[in-house]
Amino acid sequence: MRRTRYRLRVAAVAAALTLMCALAGSVAGRVYHGQLLTLLVAGAALAAFAIGFLLRNRSAFLAPSASATGLAAYLLGAIALTSDGAEPLGATIADALVNAVPRTLTALIPVEPAPDTVIVPVFLTWLAATLACEFAIRYGRTLLGCLPPVLLYGAGLYLVGPNAAAGPLWAIVFCVLAAAALAVTAAPPERRPDRDAAVDGEAPSRAPALMGAVVTTVVLLAAVAVLGPAVARLVTASPGDPREYVEPPQLTDIDLNPLVRIAEWAKYPDQELFRADTSADAWLRLAVLTEYDGTTWQAAGDFRTAGTVIPGSGEATYSAEVEIIELGGKLVPAAADPAAVTDLPIAVNLYTRCLLTPDGLATGSTYHVDSALVTADRDAAANAGPDLSDATVVALPPGTPEIMATIADHVRSQYGTPYERAQGLADFLAAHYAFDPEAPSGHDLPALGFFLGTPVDLGGQRGTSEHFAASYAIIARLMGLPSRVAVGFDVPSGSSTVTAAQGMAWPEVAFDGVGWVRFDPLPAAGSVPTPPEDALEAMEEETPSADEESGGGGEAEDYNDDSLEQNGDFDAEPAEEDSGLPVWIWYAAAALALACVPLALKARRALRRRRRLARGSPAERVAGAWAEVLAASARAGVKVPAHANAEEAAARLAALESDIGPLPRLVNAAAFAPGAVSEADAELAATIAVGHSRAIRHHVSRWKRYLN
């Protein structure tokens, strides 16, 4: 009877610890795609515990040796099960063992079960199960046997971090299993009635200990159920994410600034870069560049290792089979928006949705990519305002060339809606500048200023798609249009060899509710550009001549006119004018009129403020509040250029130490989406304008305060 109870007790402890290890290992499965990882760690826990349990009465050296052999075999099976077969099994095993930890921590969530992302959870689960079995079953230390699964559970929570919802139910189940294992704990070896121990006397009753364990477990569960929600509400910190401490895949020099490759492609247009077999005509993007510091365009965001399926994409409607010839670099050509990639290890930039392969592209590399092809609705964009939700794509570096502001003013004066201005800017560049594959590379501000403003005979006004796309993006931002630069290839449908001539850069503009729309500022083949000076000079207001300003001009005055000659003697005293009022009254009236000038100016300014802030539609009143802020700032000595946008103006006004809050955003909304401005917005703008005038009053000199 004692032997039967003992064996049942040992079996119960083994079952509880096996389930604890399986549950602890499957915690990481909450950030994995599908249920494959959960099945693998559960199998690892069961197999490891089975080996240890069956060999519990054998040599202490035999069980670990058998467990290590079983672990190696199980890992080989897991690698073979999750491998796609693109590489030989030996190369796949070596790559998985070397890169298991960094790729597990940098893999894009949900993590795709692959050889290099399942090794770590499976290995740790097997190790925890082996140690738990040795401590609890061989040596009878159940409490010590619970330690490995507890550590494994904590490691799983750390790996998941803030990327999955809380799982309180599984935590309760884990605690119940631990309590059950402790309640039916196995006896130490010297008291075993099994094959390796003799029975001496009757065993003491375990009913009180078992009852105490049950009561304690019930009390703990009740306390967790009652106090758990209240304690959870007190926790405001988010768990740390270990992915923050792992360096993401790094780009090479040509990948950090892919615009520099445009000049090389333009000089060698016949160079074969890759072969492609596509299901439709599309632009395969190599990079999307959103940040500009005045010297280089770069992509925002980091690359994260991804599996075959890339999360966040729509239904795939486009496919491409690609074989690399001489492209080079790490960036992978793919149509937006990539949904799945096979035959190539991939990392993805979630901000730009561009792809990278950590090992780089080599001649002969092949891959298949499916994309949810993005097509912009230009009809909807024609009636949409700019998407100003991301400050990165409207930011401008200081020191933009004056020619860019001049072009921006010209396009703004010619067109009304944001889409018309975006298209008008593309048409302006295409009509007045020439494409030249021999133009030197460079897209810093001085190089772009030379391209836009230098006459043709001095080498300006000609460039590659690098110059056209970079210039367009900056000028668009001067007009308040969010823009970015893309680098890629125009690839036709079917099977073709993509050459360097098909590689180019193009600008894109974001519209609210539509997304990014591509524009083409390149001139048509064979077109002859007209100098931009002609169009820009016609825009300038005609400056009055010096003669006109001084009252001259027109027909010359005839100084020989008889009517101008004085009659009578020049030496004669002029006759006194007959006046009914004393002369001093006229002097007094003149002095009173001069004294009233400041009062009249103040009254005029008050009426103008009332008209700006109280009359018209909400959008017109927001614009009036902005004009009032600029006028008050000018009196305080801070003048804003006419070509500056709202953000640039706000940066200049910061010198006055007055917070104008959301007014720049309201001004942009009033300019590009007037229908979205409400009465509350107009009232807020008026309040900000009045408060700004009062806050900066001490910056205005006393003389100006007296006169105006």
Q: Quick one: pLDDT band at residue 237, thresholds 50, 70, 90?
A: low
pLDDT single digits (tens) 532-545: 887 787 665 443 44
DSSP letters of 244-256? GGSPPPPP-HHHH
Closest CA to 441 of 459, 463, 460: 463
- Highest mean pLDDT among 72-81, 345-354, 570-579 belongs to 72-81
Asked whether the predicted pLDDT for residue 564 surpasses 60, the reply is: no
pLDDT single digits (tens) 281-325: 999 999 999 999 999 998 887 787 776 777 777 788 999 999 999
Least confident span in 321-325, 600-604, 675-679: 600-604
- Highest mean pLDDT among 199-208, 256-265, 560-569 belongs to 256-265
pLDDT single digits (tens) 612-666: 888 888 888 888 888 888 888 887 777 877 777 777 778 877 777 777 888 888 8
Task: Quote the CA–CA distance of 393 and 320 in Å, as a whole number.
Answer: 30
- Phi, psi at residue 434, to the nearest 5°? -110, 150
Least confident span in 417-431, 568-582, 669-683: 568-582
Report the pLDDT value the prediction gives residue 136, as an integer from 0 to 100.
Answer: 87
Report the pLDDT value the prediction gives residue 189, as an integer from 0 to 100.
Answer: 47
Residue with more model confidence, 343 or 224: 343
Residue with tokens 């401490």, as numbered in its chain: 245
The gap from C-alpha 247 to its chain's centroid, in whole angstroms, comes to 18
Residue with tokens 């823009």, as numbered in its chain: 483
The whole-chain average pLDDT of the chain stands at: 80
Q: Quick one: pLDDT band at residue 200, thresholds 50, 70, 90?
A: very low
Q: Quick one: average pLDDT of 201-221?
A: 57
Asked whether the predicted pLDDT for residue 209 surpasses 60, the reply is: no
- Reading the block at residue 661, the tokens are 């809050």
Report the pLDDT value the prediction gives residue 565, as an integer from 0 to 100.
Answer: 42
Q: Quick one: average pLDDT of 672-692?
A: 84
Report the pLDDT value the prediction gives residue 238, as an integer from 0 to 100.
Answer: 63
Closest CA to 685 of 642, 646, 644: 646
Report the pLDDT value the prediction gives residue 367, as an integer from 0 to 100.
Answer: 93
For the chain, give the percent of residues with pLDDT over 70: 80
Calculate the alpha carbon distances from 639 to 408, 627, 635, 655 in Å.
20, 12, 8, 11
Asked whether the predicted pLDDT for residue 547 surpasses 50, the reply is: no
Q: Quick one: average pLDDT of 595-611?
A: 73
616: left (phi over 0), alpha (psi -120 to 50) or beta: left
CA angle (435 as vertex; 431, 441 as ends), nearest 5: 130
Q: Quick one: pLDDT band at residue 193, thresholds 50, 70, 90?
A: very low
* Residue 561 neighbours by CB distance under 10 Å: 8
Closest CA to 499 of 254, 266, 257, 258: 266
Asked whether the predicted pLDDT for residue 235 surpasses 70, the reply is: no
Q: DSSP 3-state assignment of 111? A: strand
Calculate the alpha carbon distances from 568 to 549, 558, 574, 575, 591 in Å.
35, 21, 10, 12, 36
- Phi, psi at residue 338, to the nearest 5°? -60, 135
The reply to whether omega before 337 is within 30° of 0 (cis) is yes
- Phi, psi at residue 300, to the nearest 5°? -90, 155
Q: Quick one: average pLDDT of 675-694?
A: 84
Q: Quick one: average pLDDT of 20-33?
A: 87
Least confident span in 340-349, 468-477, 576-585, 598-607: 576-585
Contact 623, 682 (CB under 8 A): no
| Strand pairing category for 462-463 and 434-435 | parallel
Least confident span in 128-137, 139-148, 154-163, 291-300: 154-163
Report the pLDDT value the prediction gives residue 402, as an integer from 0 to 100.
Answer: 92
Asked whether the predicted pLDDT for residue 83 surpasses 90, the reply is: no
The reply to whether omega before 521 is within 30° of 0 (cis) is no
Least confident span in 3-7, 168-172, 178-182: 3-7
Residue with more model confidence, 284 or 567: 284
Q: Quick one: average pLDDT of 409-424?
A: 93
- Highest mean pLDDT among 3-17, 61-75, 164-178, 496-510 belongs to 496-510
pLDDT single digits (tens) 66-82: 999 999 999 999 988 88
Closest CA to 353 of 176, 181, 207, 484: 484
Q: Quick one: average pLDDT of 581-595?
A: 67
Q: Number of helices and strands (H, E) in the chain?
A: 24, 18
Report the pLDDT value the prediction gives residue 175, as an integer from 0 to 100.
Answer: 84
pLDDT single digits (tens) 367-404: 999 999 888 888 999 999 999 998 899 999 988 999 99
Length reported for the chain: 708
Task: Quote the CA–CA distance of 505 and 351 in Å, as a whole number.
Answer: 19
Least confident span in 94-108, 221-235, 522-536: 221-235
- Highest mean pLDDT among 97-101, 203-207, 590-594 belongs to 97-101
Residue type, 253: D
Report the pLDDT value the prediction gives residue 39, as an integer from 0 to 100.
Answer: 92
- Phi, psi at residue 32, to the nearest 5°? -105, 155
- Alpha carbons within 13 A on the beta-carbon side of 120: 20
Task: Quote the CA–CA distance of 331 and 254 in Å, as a whole number.
Answer: 9
Asked whether the predicted pLDDT for residue 480 surpasses 90, the reply is: yes
Report the pLDDT value the prediction gives residue 186, as an integer from 0 to 100.
Answer: 45
Asked whether the predicted pLDDT for residue 119 surpasses 50, the reply is: yes
DSSP letters of 518-532? E---SPPTT--PPPH
